[in-house]
Amino acid sequence: MATVITEECINCGACEPECPNTAIYQGGVEYDWQSAKHAALSEEFFYIVPEKCTECVGFFDYEACAAVCPVDCCIPDPARPETEAVLLDRARELHPDKQFADDAPSRFSKSEAPAAADAPAAEAGVAAAAAPVAAPAGAPAVAAMPVFDPADFDVPILCRSCDGNYAVAFQHLSPGKILRCPHCGVSFNPGQRMYLAIAKRLDAYADRLNVEIDRHNLQVELEQILFEENIADIRTATEREVGRLVLEATEPPKKSIFG
């Protein structure tokens, strides 16, 4: 699926130069496609032309725009599901002067993991026990991620005097507070309108992010439970198999002539 920029965009422009397909345009700016100009897809914030987006398949194993976005508003468009093969073919069409191998860099390949064997642990016997185990049963789970607090979000600021970039935690961006550019020392006074607009965007971002954090934490908890159960099954099956081997290799006691 093509990548889309959501309304959480703060128009920082960090994504535009990173796109290898020049698929990202500033809001209100016409885009080029098939030797013609087309009306902007958004008037308010940066947008991505879906016909020119390959999710960076063929170039990187990640989406370049999402990697540099400070507010995580570059996401796969759920309305345009597309396979890795389709995106790779699009890259070849957009860049006929380049060669893209079938195993070219792709975020799809990066996220794929080898499928686990379906054989029951009881049938694995000693061979299952020989496989390296990352941690013993009862090992602590990966630490849960804390919920996101908008107050800790670093708001990017561009100094209008020296064009220097710096960031200020949102909790320090209250109206009336005087900030100073670390590059040239020029003062900056956040206004009420700016503060409320950023607060609204950060609240929406926090809602989406915390849902994802909750999903991640639940997945970590379930994976830990499954891990411990699998380790216990492997140990039980190994103990049973080793016991059988010991029994088979042990000769029965000889009977005495005295009975």
Domain boundary among 59, 82, 110: 110
Domain boundary among 53, 77, 110: 110
Shared domain check, 140 and 26: no
Collect all residues with Cβ–Cβ distance below 8 Å to 249 and sequence separation of at least 6.
none
Q: What is the C-alpha separation between 127 and 108, in angstroms, rounded? A: 32
Is pLDDT of 109 > 70? yes
Domain that holds residue 53: 3-110
Shared domain check, 150 and 58: no
Collect all residues with Cβ–Cβ distance below 8 Å to 22 and sequence separation of at least 6.
32, 52
Is pLDDT of 94 > 90? yes
Q: What is the C-alpha separation between 229 and 164, in angstroms, rounded? A: 54
Question: Are β-strands 179-180 and 187-188 bridged in parallel, bridged antiparallel, or unpaired?
Answer: antiparallel
Shared domain check, 20 and 96: yes
Is pLDDT of 127 > 80? no
Alpha carbon separation from 243 to 119, 123, 136, 233, 237 (Å, rounded): 21, 15, 21, 15, 10
Shared domain check, 24 and 132: no
Buried b (16+ CB within 10 A) or exposed e, 103-138: ebbbbeeeeeeeeeeeeebeebbeebbeeeeeeeee
Q: With contact defined as beta carbons under 8 Å apart, do 74 and 82 qualify? A: no
Question: Which pLDDT value is given to residue 144?
Answer: 67
Q: What is the C-alpha separation between 60 and 70, in angstroms, rounded? A: 19
Shared domain check, 180 and 61: no
Shared domain check, 103 and 37: yes
Question: Which pLDDT value is given to residue 218?
Answer: 87
What are 48's strand-pairing partners?
A: 24
Question: Which pLDDT value is given to residue 133?
Answer: 39
Collect all residues with Cβ–Cβ distance below 8 Å to 84 and sequence separation of at least 6.
57, 106, 108, 109
Is pLDDT of 141 > 80? no
Is pLDDT of 115 > 50? no
Domain boundary among 91, 110, 129: 110
Is pLDDT of 163 > 80? yes
Amino acid identity of 198? I
Which of 25-34, 111-120, 166-175 has the least mean pLDDT? 111-120
Which of 65-79, 83-97, 117-131 has the least mean pLDDT? 117-131
The enclosing domain of 31 has a CATH number of 3.30.70.20
Shared domain check, 123 and 168: yes
Question: Which pLDDT value is given to residue 259?
Answer: 57
Write the pLDDT tens digit of every residue in 209-250: 888 888 888 888 888 888 889 999 899 999 898 888 888 888
Q: Rounded to the nearest 5°, which phi and psi values hold at 132?
A: -65, 140
The token pair that represents 130 in the structure block: 């020989």
Collect all residues with Cβ–Cβ distance below 8 Å to 45 and sequence separation of at least 6.
5, 7, 9, 10, 11, 27
Percent of the chain having pLDDT more than 90?
A: 24
Q: With contact defined as beta carbons under 8 Å apart, do 152 and 6 qualify? A: no
Is pLDDT of 38 > 90? yes
Shared domain check, 221 and 137: yes
Shared domain check, 149 and 99: no
Shared domain check, 78 and 12: yes
Side-chain half-sphere exposure of 78, counting CA atoms within 13 A: 1
Question: Which pLDDT value is given to residue 56?
Answer: 92
Question: Which pLDDT value is given to residue 29?
Answer: 94
Shared domain check, 135 and 52: no
What are 188's strand-pairing partners?
A: 179
Shared domain check, 212 and 232: yes
Question: Which pLDDT value is given to residue 257?
Answer: 65
Question: Which pLDDT value is given to residue 110?
Answer: 56
What total of structural domains would you count in the chain? 2
Q: What is the C-alpha separation between 70 and 66, in angstroms, rounded? A: 8
